Amino acid sequence: MLSLRAVNQFYGSQHTLWNVNLDFPQGMCTGVVGLPGMGKTTLMNCIAGRVPVESGSIIWHEAGAPPRDLLNLPPEQRSGPGIGYVPQDRRIFSQLTIEENLHIAMRAMGKPNPEAKSDVYDLFPALYALRQARANTLSPDDQYQLALANALVNRPNLLILDEPLHGAGHSFAQKLGQLLARLNRELGMTVLLAEQQLSFIRRVADRFCMLYRGRNVAQGHVNELDDELIAHWMSREARR
C-alpha cells in the first residue's frame, strides 16, 4: 500500500525525521507510537503532503498500477490516489453545517457521490441526526466524528489519523476503536494512526512502528510492543 524509503525532513535547521524506512501493508492497521515530540505528527504530515520532505521517497502501491511517488503531489491531490487524513486539529469548517462540510469534502474530489454520503451517515448516525447543525455547535467528540466523515466520504484506501484520542474520554475511545475495527477488518481499509495511548494501539492495531527523536527504532507485529521495548524507548530516561 505505502512505503517510505530514506525519508528526511527539516523544520528550518532542525532535522526532524532521519532516514525513515517504513512499510504500511494493505488492509492492516498500523500504530505509530513514541514520546511527545519524537516525530509522529511530522511523519503523518509528510505522508499527507502538509510539510515538505527534504529527501527520500513515499511510494504508493496499487494493484494493477505502477508504483507512484507521492512527493511531488500537493495535499489536495493525495486524496486522488486514495488517502484520507484527519489531523489533530480536525480542520472542519466550523461555521458550516455538517451537510455543507460533507458537500465540500466531496466536491474537492470533483465527483460527488450521494451513496458515499449515505454510507458515512450509516457509520455516524449521530451526525445524520445533527446534519443541519453548524459544526461549531457540536460537542468535541461529534466534531471529531465530522472530521472523520469528511475524510471517509471519498472512500479512501488509506485513512491517516493523528492523535485521535487527544483530549477524548473513555466513551469516545471505545466508539473509535469499534469504528476502526469495522473499517479495517470488515471493509478492508488500511489505517495508519499516531497515538500515545498504548492500550488503544494494542487493542486496535495489527502492527506498530516506534519513533525516537525522528528515527524509526522498532517496528513489527503489535504483540512485539512489549514492556521491555516501551521501558527502553518511552520511559522518562529515554527522554535524555
Q: What pLDDT is stored for residue 111 in this prediction?
A: 63
Helix 98-108 vs helix 114-123: angle between axes, to the nearest 10 degrees? Answer: 130
- Give the pLDDT confidence score for residue 167 in this predicted structure: 76
* pLDDT at residue 216, rounded to an integer: 95
pLDDT at 23: 92
Pull the grid cell for residue 115.
451513496
d(CA 22, CA 219): 8
Q: Find out whether 19 and 215 touch, Cβ atoms under 8 Å.
A: yes
CA proximity to 25, closest of 52, 45, 1: 1
What SS3 string covers the chain? CEEEEEEEEEECCEEEEEEEEEEECCCCEEEEECCCCCCHHHHHHHHHCCCCCCEEEEEEEECCEEEEECCCCCHHHHCCCCEEEECCCCCCCCCCEHHHHHHHHHHHCCCCCHHHHHHHHHHCHHHHHCCCCEHHHCCHHHHHHHHHHHHHCCCCCEEEEECCCCCCCHHHHHHHHHHHHHHHHHCCCEEEEECCCHHHHHHHCCEEEEEECCEEEEEEEHHHCCHHHHHHHHCCHHHC
* Per-residue model confidence as pLDDT tens for the chain (240 residues): 799 999 999 999 999 999 999 999 888 999 999 999 999 999 999 998 889 999 999 998 877 778 888 887 777 776 666 889 999 888 899 999 999 999 999 887 666 677 888 999 999 999 999 999 999 999 999 999 999 999 999 888 899 999 999 877 788 899 999 999 888 888 889 999 999 999 999 999 999 999 999 999 999 999 999 999 999 998 756 555
Contacts of 70 (CB under 8 A, 6+ apart): 47, 49, 58, 59, 60, 78, 81
Across 31-58, b (16+ Cβ under 10 Å) vs e yields bbbbbeebbbbbbbbbbbbbbebeebeb
Res 238: pLDDT: 57
The closest of 48, 5, 57, 36 to 212, measured between CA atoms, is: 36
Output phi, psi for 167, to 5 deg: 75, 5
User: Judging by DSSP bridges, how do beta strands 158-162 and 55-62 pair with one another?
Assistant: unpaired
Q: Which pLDDT does position 205 carry in this prediction?
A: 95
Residue-level pLDDT at 61: 86
> Would you mind telling me the total number of residues written for the chain in this entry?
240
The pLDDT of residue 10 is: 95
**CA 107/CA 112 separation, integer angstroms:** 6
